[in-house]
Amino acid sequence: MSTGMITSAKNMLENTELNKNNNNATMQSDQTITFSDKNKKREVDEKNETIIKVKSVIPRQRQELLKWYGWGYKDSTFKLSDGTTFFTGDRYIISGKSLPHAQQWVKEIFDIDLTIEPRQPKLPSSFPSSRLPNNIKEELEKISLLSTDGVDRLIRAHGQTLHDVYNLRNNSFPRIPDAVIWPTSHDEVEEIVRCASKHKFVIIPFGGGTSVSGAVTCPANEDRPIVVLDTSEMNAILWLDKDQLLANVQAGIVGQDLEREMRLRGFTVGHEPDSYEFSTLGGWVATRASGMKKNTYGNIEDLVVHTKAVTPLGVIQKSCRVPRLSCGPEWEHIVMGSEGCLGVVTEVTLKIRPLPPVVRYGSLVFPDWESGFYFEREVAKQRLQPSSIRLMDNEQFRFGHALKMEQSWGGVLLDGLKRFYITKIRGFDPLKLCVVTLLMEGKAEQVAESEKKLNSIAGQYGGVPGGAKNGEMGYTLTFVIAYVRDLALDYGVVAESFETSVSWERALALCRRTKRAVREQCARRHITHYHISCRLTQTYDAGCCIYFYFGFKTVGFDDPVHVYEQIEQAAREEIIASGGSISHHHGVGKLRKKWYTNTVSEPGRRLLLAAKEALDPDNIFALGNMAFDQYSPAVKSKL
């Protein structure tokens, strides 16, 4: 590991939107939102709290900036031209750069004719008529901004599953929302929910639209009008307590906006999921999200101090702001992970931290997956994890190499020397070696000590330093990988990721068996051109999170998405049989609900439905995620 790069925090994204001056934030000193009803009269000056109005990077008309048919920014995409692959735009570390190894990898793995010009999908011009009655529309318009425009409705009809994107590109959703409404405050959400309860229409909460579980997809058989409650206008920082290191924030704020505003004031939230550029605080709470830097800052359940959520039967919130409360079951955890099926999270009080003075990347190369795995296990045993520590298998390492940028002669020479040392002198097999990427944060002496200890442990398992630049590339490419799927679909490849959590003693067998299950499923369908890889992304005392990436060439299949789903389902069955979970942080949604009851037990399922009856008896939030599709107001007495 190189002594490497020491920077002030956050070089992870070269996103020009994140580098804007403080003119995006304006201050209002005459308003505050206090913690509970009992404290509403507390003076603003007591904590010097002011509302920070946030100018979001993402506009209300999302299609002006973001792709309507896939992931991310419109100006950021993989392009093939004259035998060269490059990534457009200027937001990421590989933007504007040539990727000389990409096409060779694609041809070897998928056997695709890259000379064929892909057909780009066109934004639909016709949409199903809105079912929202005029009287309800007029009532809602008195509360908040409302739209029944077809494009507004289509863009909020889905998340980012492969199935969603395929339906989007083919304009084949069986159901889209009938209207979109943009509340700006908790009080407006309460009014909207009361209106829904009165008129019995459905509400689907919508944040960043990054769900990969089908959670926000409209139920196809829902006959009632569906109104999407878009939280993006609820993105203010209501107060910031620099002494207590807490912030009270509206739940619609996007991750990159939240982090930018905190950094302007010398703080960080530190919650950085792969989707953090586009996902929202409320979405993190609703799915029990995890971030890449959870070792330092915690998962979302570790960051949240208090939530406020609107349900049809009232507002769920605690009456005091304390670090811990022994008061029976923690009802906040009923909301956390509820995936929008019980109500709308409107405000969150969460922990913040001072910006770390030093951020350093690193990487380590191991002779094989097992060596890297046991290194990570030992690091976890000693609780020496840096902010991020991730292990890529050989297949994913080679995929990462395919996205390597064209460099100056000095960079090429350095890479050549490293390659010679690793493969010739150390004897690592290029078809077996694996890489661990590291992100260390803290004071200079803490980072230096962490680096020293990690190097020492790595040596015990045959690991050698791979350099800071490789560590930085490995970390930042996480934000780019999602763009690959759009290019893949353009050229007839379907691809997706899925994840799990598993105990340490079962992890190696789970990875081996899951890959074998995918290969067997491909062989049965005569699929010869496919990619299956995995990486270990988060570590705990009791286990780890494993990500799998799978894609295949679709030639010969009339419904390739269905074929993919069959193969992924077989992989999930193997994961569960090998001791893994149905999800570490993506959530259950509609994609994984068939395994919900077996995961939580029959009493657990009944408890979930009892919560539905207690908070949303008329099924206003009728998303049908987890086991909520089994709930019906007509059978309430049986629960």
- CB-based burial of residue 8 (10 Å sphere; 0-12 exposed, 13-18 middle, 19+ buried)? exposed
Q: CB of 500 within 8 A of CB of 536?
A: no
Enumerate residues 6+ apart whose C-beta is below 8 A from 142. none
Which of 361, 483, 547, 549 is an active site residue?
547
Q: SS3 for 269-291, per residue?
A: CCCCCCCCCCCEHHHHHHHCCCC
DSSP 65-103: TB-SSSSSBTT--EEEETTEEEE-SSSSTTBT-B-TTHH
**Integer Cα distance of 130 and 142 in angstroms:** 19
Residues 163 and 173: their CA atoms lie apart, in Å, by: 10
Check the CA dihedral 119-125-131-135 and report its sign: positive
Known catalytic residue: 421? no
* Pairing verdict, β 358-366 and 304-311: unpaired
As a whole number of angstroms, the distance between CA 607 and CA 627 comes to 11
Beta-bridge partners for 502: 544
Q: Are 132 and 178 in contact, with CB atoms under 8 Å apart?
A: yes
Nearest-10 Cα torsion for 172, 175, 177, 178: 110
3-state secondary structure of 532: strand
Q: CA 185 to CA 189: how far, in whole Å?
A: 7
Active site residue ranges: 547
